[in-house]
Amino acid sequence: MNNFSNKVALITGAGNGIGRATAIAFAQQQAKVVVADISHDAGNKTVELIKEAGGIATFIPCDVTNDSQVQALIDGTLEAYGQLDIAFNNAGIEIEQSKLAEGDEATYDKIMDVNVKGVWRCMKYQIPAMLKSPSSAIVNTASIAGLGAAPKMSIYSASKHAVIGLTKSAAIEYGKKGLRVNAVCPAVIDTEMFSRAAESDPKKAEYVKGLHPVGRIGQAEEVAAAVLYLCSDLAGFTTGVALPVDGGVTAI
């Protein structure tokens, strides 16, 4: 991986899981990192881990459903570091466990507000700042649920299909201006969310692991590696891509 020195990377949902792993990975590659999360404790913990390893990071609290907070996030990034070169829009929720006709409007609105409108809102404020950089990159967190069906998660699946649509459209709109926009589509990743599910239903957790052709679920660091690649010069000719990071699930 090429070095990200002289680059400023902003990661939302960076308080744990994939977001934290990616923030740490960027810092290890010499980027200045802006950690954004709705949780002050989790966000500050990520910054602490980065600084303990000799990296540079700043925490800015942000709820991606709040327009003024997202705008303040971008303003704060520019005030802290003077530029924005990389954005990983990772904040999202997964709260659905029912068939489509059993869903309710409140759940629909909450999922869409975070997963879709949150990504749209972040890009809306990120892009004007990033166009000032000669070479910039955005990566959005979608899911393999955005590449196909997700039984009992139809609203979540729809939200991730929408993230891919936003990604592809932005990639076309801003490609000639030096901004690349891609998405990562993880399968099941070993995060706190999966750990809680495994504790409540160990048999189901083993079943889920078996759905991956490689015989295991993914690690947050493996998704982080894909994000860093998409943001690097090595991916300079790659834009508008929804990259599965899924242990072969979508190849079946």
What is the spatial distance between Cα 139 and Cα 182, in angstroms, rounded to a whole number?
Answer: 5
Residues 6+ away with beta carbon under 8 Å from 20: 14, 42, 46, 49, 220
What is the spatial distance between Cα 12 and Cα 187, in angstroms, rounded to a whole number?
Answer: 19
- Long-range (24+ apart) CB contacts under 8 A made by 51-54 are 53/24, 53/27, 53/28
Which pair of tokens denotes residue 117?
A: 């409108």
Which residue among the candidates 81, 108, 125, 156 is catalytic per the annotation?
156
What is the spatial distance between Cα 165 and Cα 177, in angstroms, rounded to a whole number?
Answer: 19
Are 17 and 192 within 8 A, CB to CB?
A: yes
Which pair of tokens denotes residue 113?
A: 């507000």
What is the spatial distance between Cα 121 and Cα 27, in angstroms, rounded to a whole number?
Answer: 25
**C-alpha of 84 from chain center:** 16
Q: Is 156 a catalytic residue?
A: yes
Are 215 and 244 within 8 A, CB to CB?
A: no
Q: Which residues are known to be catalytic?
A: 156
